[in-house]
Structure 1
Amino acid sequence: MTLRQLSPSIDTHAHVFHRGLALSDSRRYTPTYDADTSDYLAQLDRHGVARGVLIQPSFLGTDNSYLLGALAQHPERLRGVVVLDPREDHDLEKLNAQGVRGIRLNLIGVTPPDLDSRVWRALEKRMGELGWHLEVQARGRQWDELTDSLTRWSSSVVIDHLGLPARNDFQARKTVATLAALEHVWVKVSAPYRSEVPERALAELLDTTGPARMLFGSDWPFTGHETNCSTSALTAWARKQLGEATFTATLPANAQRLLQWK
């Protein structure tokens, strides 16, 4: 199947890796299987999806080499979101030419960084010049700690996995909804199995902001939830929650806009 024959849909959240890659010492998860680039492309083909976005998995730390290799092999079909140490010097222009369009900040189990610090604000400026986004995975009180900095953030911000909403954490869901109402903030409709009340949170976000800056991500290969998840089931879930027209037209157009894909 050629790219032209596939639907214009875009999977904005997936991971690729294989056993044997160097793992981060601070990882919370260790893969026991391979989920390589060819596996992911076959997954896209099987579901008629034209393009995908590879997100650097947290267990690989800041070594983005495998992700970048995948982008180099399939530049028409893949984009990337990397993990970088803001204290180090990075050639963002080169990464941009390689297909990178954002930086990931996974805060699960760690203290949020000071995004108002000199190093982060310098990185923010360069990200804005390139049209990159800051992708944030956080939960609970972390959103309150981040809200002022993210409100002032000058490039796009993507809230990962609906903000990981918890059933009784009304304050966090309210904070996420307030952030999502800002013109530079986007939300990923993804990984409902990582949240307690994904349907309720998504309904609240749709009531607050509508679907104009929402994205769909499969979260393939569902790390930590491999045995009870499938792309088909997650796609069906998102279609049901969002409606067919929004899922098939609005979300792909949103992803094209954010990721600078024509």
Structure 2
Amino acid sequence: MPDTCSTPITGIDAHAHVFSRELKLAAARRYTPDYDATLAQYLKHLQSHGLSHGVLVQPSFLGTDNRYLLAALRQAPEQLRGVVVLEPDVSRAVLDDMARSGVVGVRLNLMGKALPDFRDAAWRGFFGHLAELDWHVELHRNVEDLPGLIRQLMPFGIKLVIDHFGRPDARLGTAQPGFAELMELGQGGRVWMKVSAIYRLAGTEQQNLAFARASLSLLEQNFGPRRLVWGSDWPHTQHEGNVGFDTVMAQLQALQCSAPLMRALLVETARSLFRF
């Protein structure tokens, strides 16, 4: 694992993507980019917003071909960590090599997909390797399905990270199916939440922000500040027309966090979880 001691941490963006439109895309995908999101562009955004480090997450439309992400990690090993997408039959040698490049987790993007059966032998072996490597599993799925998935994964002893507030529908409020269960599961100390992508919460801008504020208050109570991280979700795929890095930084400020919570979101929790 790269050593980042020489780079002071002023802020960590826990969720961003890099890609090129020229890359081979996964056959089954929900989105096709018509632009490039380069590492140079991303690092410039970090610098201009007072952030020092970032976590690159493999976008779903690139499938399990993580080469572009891994190349980016090698270009800025002190500043970056990576979260990859893999098949469960991947070899331990490949995992070990990725770990040396700065990979610290695996994303399961289950949006729009049939739910996997984690009792399968391939999954059990896979999660065993991740536990030994101390990687986390990042879950991207609508909130109503998350409690069941979390309960399936808990016995493996791995850290679980939930994307984008758990992808609730802001229009339904905090009483929607799955949300209260998710808060309860957060009390166990093995689940982290990404406070990110407020614009993906399905409501109007005002509804989304109001829900995010209410949700963050409950998350602070149930998960605790040391289980919450912030992410930009740059380059805001499918929302590029009206969302930019300035937008998400403004939304973060609009959450009106206390100073200790803001420091936990931007520095302390992410530094520990992503092993900076």
Q: Same fold (TM over 0.5)?
A: yes
Q: Which moved more, 1:7-16 or 1:96-105?
A: 7-16
Q: 1:170: which partner in 2?
A: 176
- 2:114 maps to 1:99: no
Within-5 A mapping of 1:61-210: 61-90=63-92, 91-166=94-169, 167-168=171-172, 170-196=176-202, 197-210=211-224
Aligned partners of 1:155, 1:128: CA distance in 2, in Å? 5
CA distance in 1 between counterparts of 2:8 and 2:189 reads 30
Greater Cα offset, 224-233 or 39-48: 224-233
CA 1:28–1:53 in 2, change beyond 3 Å: closer, same or farther?
same
Give the equivalent residue in structure 1 for 2:245.
231
Aligned to 1:217: 231
AA paired with 1:231? F
* 1:26 equivalent among 25, 28, 42: 28
Structure 1 residue 98: Cα displacement = 0.6
Tell me, yes or no, if the aligned pair for 2:230 and 2:265 is still in contact at 8 Å: no
Higher mean alpha-carbon deviation, 39-48 vs 228-237, is at 228-237
RMSD: 1.9
Distance 1:181 1:96 in 2: 29
CA shift, 1:146, in A, is 1.1
- Per-residue deviation at 1:88? 3.4
- Would the aligned equivalents of 1:151 and 1:179 in 2 still touch at CA under 8 Å? no
Distance in 2 (CA, whole Å) between partners of 1:7 and 1:155 is 26
1:43-77 alpha-carbon deviations (Å, 9 max, x no partner): 11111111000000000000000000001111111
Return the alpha-carbon distance in structure 2 between the equivalents of residues 5 and 68 of structure 1. 20
- What displacement does 1:4 show? 6.8
Provide structure 1 residue ranges, at least 5 long, that are not aligned to the other structure.
none
TM-score (norm 2): 0.88
1:112 CA displacement = 1.7
Kindly indicate whether the alpha-carbon contact (under 8 Å) linking 1:6 and 1:49 is maintained by their aligned counterparts in 2. Answer: no
- The 4+ residue runs of structure 1 with deviation greater than 3 A are 3-7
- 3-state SS of paired residue (1:49): coil
Structure 2 SS opposite 1:256? helix
Counterpart residue type for residue 157 of structure 1: L
Secondary structure of the equivalent of 1:226? Answer: coil
Contact 1:147 1:175 in 2 (8 A): no
> What's the offset of the Cα at 1:7?
5.1
SS at match of 2:226: coil
Please report the TM-score for the alignment, with normalisation by the length of structure 1. Answer: 0.92
Q: Distance in 2 between matches of 1:33 and 1:162?
A: 27
Cα deviation for residue 102 of structure 1 reads: 0.2
Deviation at 1:89, TM superposition (A): 2.5
Kindly indicate whether the alpha-carbon contact (under 8 Å) linking 2:84 and 2:105 is maintained by their aligned counterparts in 1.
Answer: yes
- Is the partner of 2:108 in helix, strand or coil? strand
User: What's the counterpart of residue 253 of structure 1?
Assistant: 268
Q: Distance in 2 between matches of 1:130 and 1:7?
A: 24
Aligned pairs, number? 259
SS class of match (2:225): coil
CA distance in 2, matches of 1:8, 1:134: 25
Which 5+ residue runs of structure 2 have no aligned equivalent?
Answer: 203-210
